[in-house]
């Protein structure tokens, strides 16, 4: 960097900080006046972990279970999204006319309908026609305990497996459309000279693409893709409408049972934040570190 600015604390900074603090305290003051709410925070920790009276061991309660379900959902749907998005993105950038057409239809139709609608339609129509016919849940129930535990750890228990799979596919299709646009942009941004240079040393079109273009593309799009993963985590909250027992759904169940509305919402907000914030900071850090060397 050429000229590094030295940080100087000015009068304006001071004023801004004071104003922000004043605004926040006014907000909380008003809130406590208007809300007139009986806070009962002491009940919340037991919904993370509780002491099992039978075994005397600490066991995860519904908020922690929901938290991990959200992580599982995000990881699997990201895999599906990256897979679909890469195919569609490559087709959109360098495919034949028909391939570009298919890719465009996929991207435009998904990006122009609300994710909520997509998830609901997928769950009620597609999954009940196809997924239920696979009898995955029946097979799982008949299988041994070890297999049930492994799939329970990676996906979901037999009673939830069908809706879980339908949720990750729906989310994956949704994220795939955005990934597709990122990848397509990445491929297009590779200069034409790279293609010409590869051909001139005798590489075929296919090899050029796989060995020269694609690796450079992935390097370019790595950070936007990481950003997409973070938004997948946040988007995963919408599958609570199809009763996937992820963080938001568990929170709403908890509120219905205990009426601790604000405590639970605030806790959930915090849980999402500690999930996404480290990711976005580390992405920003890596971007600073590696972006220059490209």
Residues of this chain that bind other proteins (CB under 8 A): 34-38, 43, 46-47, 50, 52, 59, 61-62, 65, 117, 120, 124-125, 128-129, 132, 138, 141, 158-160, 162-163, 240-243, 245, 249, 252-259, 261-262
CB of 137 to other proteins, least distance (A): 9
Residue number, 16 or 134, with CB nearest to other proteins: 134
CB of 3 to other proteins, least distance (A): 54
Residue number, 13 or 159, with CB nearest to other proteins: 159
Residue number, 90 or 244, with CB nearest to other proteins: 244
Residue number, 186 or 251, with CB nearest to other proteins: 251
Question: Which is nearest to 194 in space by CA: 207, 183, 185, 182?
Answer: 207
Angle in degrees, 0-180, between the axes of helices 62-94 and 97-111, rounded to the nearest 10: 150
CB of 272 to other proteins, least distance (A): 19
The whole-angstrom separation of Cα 132 and Cα 111 is 27
Residues 6+ apart with CB under 8 A from 124: none
Residue number, 41 or 285, with CB nearest to other proteins: 41
The whole-angstrom separation of Cα 51 and Cα 60 is 9
Residue number, 46 or 204, with CB nearest to other proteins: 46
CB of 70 to other proteins, least distance (A): 16
CB of 41 to other proteins, least distance (A): 13
Degrees to nearest 5, angle at CA 55 with 47 and 44: 10
CB of 14 to other proteins, least distance (A): 37
Degrees to nearest 5, angle at CA 255 with 249 and 260: 145
DSSP helix/strand/coil, 59: strand
The whole-angstrom separation of Cα 26 and Cα 117 is 39
CB of 29 to other proteins, least distance (A): 16
Residue number, 34 or 292, with CB nearest to other proteins: 34
Please provide the DSSP assignment of 45-73 as one string. GGGTEEE-TTT--EEE-HHHHHHHHHHHH
The whole-angstrom separation of Cα 265 and Cα 251 is 7
DSSP helix/strand/coil, 60: strand
Is the CB of residue 49 less than 8 Å from the CB of residue 61?
Answer: yes
The whole-angstrom separation of Cα 71 and Cα 18 is 38
β-partners of residue 60 are 49
């Amino acid at each position: 960097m050429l000229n590094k600015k030295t940080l100087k604390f000015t009068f304006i900074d001071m004023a801004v900080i004071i104003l922000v603090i004043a605004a926040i305290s006014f907000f909380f003051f008003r809130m406590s006046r208007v809300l007139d709410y009986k806070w009962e925070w002491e009940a919340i920790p037991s919904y993370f972990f509780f002491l099992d009276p039978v075994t005397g061991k600490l066991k995860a309660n519904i908020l922690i279970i929901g938290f991990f379900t959200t992580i599982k959902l995000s990881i699997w749907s990201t895999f599906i999204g990256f897979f679909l998005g890469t195919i569609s993105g490559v087709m959109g950038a360098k495919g034949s006319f028909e391939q570009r057409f298919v890719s465009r239809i996929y991207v435009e139709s998904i990006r122009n309908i609300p994710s909520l609608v997509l998830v609901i339609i997928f769950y009620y129509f597609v999954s009940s026609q196809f997924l239920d016919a696979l009898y995955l849940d029946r097979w799982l129930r008949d299988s041994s305990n070890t297999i049930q535990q492994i799939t329970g750890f990676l996906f979901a228990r037999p009673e939830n497996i069908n809706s879980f799979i339908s949720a990750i596919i729906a989310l994956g299709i949704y994220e795939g459309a955005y990934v597709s646009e990122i990848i397509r942009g990445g491929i297009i941004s590779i200069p034409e000279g790279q293609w010409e240079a590869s051909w001139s040393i005798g590489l075929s079109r296919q090899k050029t693409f796989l060995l020269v273009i694609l690796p450079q593309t992935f390097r370019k799009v790595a950070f936007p893709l990481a950003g997409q993963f973070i938004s997948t985590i946040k988007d995963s909250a919408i599958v609570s409408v199809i009763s996937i027992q992820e963080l938001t759904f568990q929170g709403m169940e908890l509120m219905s049972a205990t009426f601790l509305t604000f405590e639970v919402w605030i806790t959930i907000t915090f849980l999402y934040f500690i999930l996404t914030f480290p990711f976005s900071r580390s992405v920003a850090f890596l971007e600073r570190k590696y972006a220059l060397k490209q």
